[in-house]
Structure 1
Amino acid sequence: MNQAKEQWKVKRLDISYNFKVDNVGTYMSEINKMIISKRTKITYNENETVIFKNKSSSICFYDKEKECINKKEQQKVIEQAKGVLRLEIRPAIYHLREYSHNRKAVDLITKSFFTYMIEKFKINDFLKFQNKSDDSEILKALYVMKVADIEKVLGFKMLVEIIGEKTLVEKCYYKDGTFRNRKELIDEYNKNIYQNGNKQKQLYIPLD
């Protein structure tokens, strides 16, 4: 007798996400510069694939188009993969048990488990380091923004990186009007800094 799907158990489950970007190679180069504590970094084929791994789990970024070319996929498939930066997370078995003691598929093959793993591995926090402000950016902003407003932007961005936007809202660290003001200032700051299109789009996985 076939087992009911509610009783299916997961032995392995990979978490994946596709970023659609203009230049995958540029992002891969930036990712390859990064370090994740207590994980070994392995790079293949001139940044085509970058893996951060330990004994039990791994985080992998790779160029989906190049993978399809290497596997000699059909041209239609290769075209669909163009501009796709692929993220794949292979959780450890204990990560599965943390979320579902019996590793039930009905619990693990869900959007909520995907969100749990992205937060567990702090993927969005890791990706925030890409477009870190540098001195030249701040100097650009000084030409068009008040110093006080730039201070607000930089302070707010640091709080978001350390605490997280969700916590700032839920804990009411900002009044609604003040929070909205900070978001508008960030939009103005980014517009002035990135108006020449020199900066890459920030990678981010929406979890709401």
Structure 2
Amino acid sequence: MNTRYVLYDEKIPHIKYLESSQTLRVQVSIPKFLYGNNVKTIGLDDINLFFVGLQERIEHLFGVTVPHEDWLVERCDVCWNFQVGNDVGNYVRMLSKQKFAFKNTKSYNQDQTVEFSNKSSRIIFYDKQEEVAKSKETKALIEQAKGILRLEINSSKHDMKKFAPTWKAVELLSQPFFDYMVGKVLDEVDYLDDIEELNVEWLKENKDNISKIETYIGFNIIRNLVDESTLKKIYPSSTLATRKSLAKKMTIPKGNCLKPLTIIKESLPDQRTRYFADNDKKSKIMEQIK
């Protein structure tokens, strides 16, 4: 017989202790743990603050001290808030028409959420203000979430093990892992031209290049329908490279294009993680948490 204890705490929503293996499991959102919501974007200093706060909370609840290096990760969601103003719905619509490699695309709630998923991982883009409003948060928080396109990546076991073979939390809650996971997603986003906005007069002026224009439009339609792996099966490698090159060079008139989603990095420490060993600093940090 195995004894399992499940506890509920205002700071840590899910705590489980398995007596047979003496394993303590916690599930927690870092921004919610620190600031009470996940509308606020966190940085590396917040990760350090989280480790100290988690250690203090566990010590307060159970009377034991768990070193930062002892925490292992079973699940890691990488998230970011893109401020896109009034274009949240436009981005979701654009993304809902796309295919990510080896993932199914699903749309929910009328241009509010799009999901790319398979059995091992999931990527979601959604309207953060709508989500906060449905949760009946404060007016101030709803206003703060205005214009935010939220990205959430449920990392696969393969990606986590690649960065941390021993599943150490201090290695996964880091800038390099964040850059790797978000970079993979943003590299797959294709900002396709809106060929429905083609101008007839422009076509007349460029009638000498009509063959290239036809090729471009046809390729654009096909890559809207299939993912990258299917494109490689349809086209010989040399032809696919030629088509992609043509697509980059073609400057046909198009409708309002959305700007590429990018991460604006602030000045961050070079090291992966940094701990507050100084007791005075630690005391000040805990005062903020309390």
Q: Name the counterpart of 2:262.
A: 204
CA distance in structure 2 between the partners assigned to 1:206 and 1:132 by the alignment: 25
Higher gyration radius (CA): 2
CA distance in structure 1 between the partners assigned to 2:177 and 2:144 by the alignment: 27
- Aligned partner of 1:31 among 90, 95, 120: 95
CA distance in structure 2 between the partners assigned to 1:59 and 1:50 by the alignment: 8
- Unaligned 5+ residue runs, structure 1? 144-185
Using the TM superposition, give the Cα deviation of residue 204 of structure 1 relative to its aligned residue in structure 2, in angstroms. 2.5
Using the TM superposition, give the Cα deviation of residue 88 of structure 1 relative to its aligned residue in structure 2, in angstroms. 0.5
Structure-2 change in CA distance of 1:70 and 1:100 (3 Å):
same
Using the TM superposition, give the Cα deviation of residue 207 of structure 1 relative to its aligned residue in structure 2, in angstroms. 7.1
CA distance in structure 1 between the partners assigned to 2:263 and 2:123 by the alignment: 15
- 1:95 matched to 2:159: yes
Structure-2 change in CA distance of 1:133 and 1:198 (3 Å):
closer
Q: TM-score, normalised by structure 2?
A: 0.48
CA distance in structure 2 between the partners assigned to 1:199 and 1:35 by the alignment: 19
Letter in 1 for 2:125: F
Structure-2 change in CA distance of 1:201 and 1:39 (3 Å):
same
Alignment of 1:65-76 (within 5 A): 65-76=129-140
Q: Name the counterpart of 1:2.
A: 65
SS of the equivalent of 1:23 reads: helix
Q: TM-score, normalised by structure 1?
A: 0.65
Structure-2 change in CA distance of 1:205 and 1:123 (3 Å):
farther
Using the TM superposition, give the Cα deviation of residue 103 of structure 1 relative to its aligned residue in structure 2, in angstroms. 0.9
Aligned residues of 1:131 and 1:200 also touching (Cα < 8 A): no
Q: How many residues align?
A: 159
CA distance in structure 2 between the partners assigned to 1:205 and 1:13 by the alignment: 19
Alignment of 1:12-51 (within 5 A): 12-21=75-84, 22-51=86-115
- 1:130 matched to 2:191: yes
Q: Name the counterpart of 2:55.
A: none
Letter in 1 for 2:124: C
Letter in 2 for 1:103: W
Using the TM superposition, give the Cα deviation of residue 16 of structure 1 relative to its aligned residue in structure 2, in angstroms. 0.6
Q: Alpha-carbon deviations, 1:43-72, whole Å to 9, x = none?
A: 111121111100010010000000011111
CA distance in structure 2 between the partners assigned to 1:44 and 1:68 by the alignment: 16
Letter in 1 for 2:165: H
Identity, % of aligned pairs? 36
SS of the equivalent of 2:116 reads: strand
CA distance in structure 1 between the partners assigned to 2:172 and 2:134 by the alignment: 31
Using the TM superposition, give the Cα deviation of residue 99 of structure 1 relative to its aligned residue in structure 2, in angstroms. 0.7
CA distance in structure 1 between the partners assigned to 2:93 and 2:194 by the alignment: 18
CA distance in structure 1 between the partners assigned to 2:193 and 2:187 by the alignment: 12
CA distance in structure 2 between the partners assigned to 1:117 and 1:207 by the alignment: 15
CA distance in structure 2 between the partners assigned to 1:126 and 1:198 by the alignment: 20
Letter in 1 for 2:167: R
Runs of 4+, deviation exceeding 6 Å = none
Aligned residues of 1:24 and 1:84 also touching (Cα < 8 A): yes
Aligned residues of 2:193 and 2:257 also touching (Cα < 8 A): no
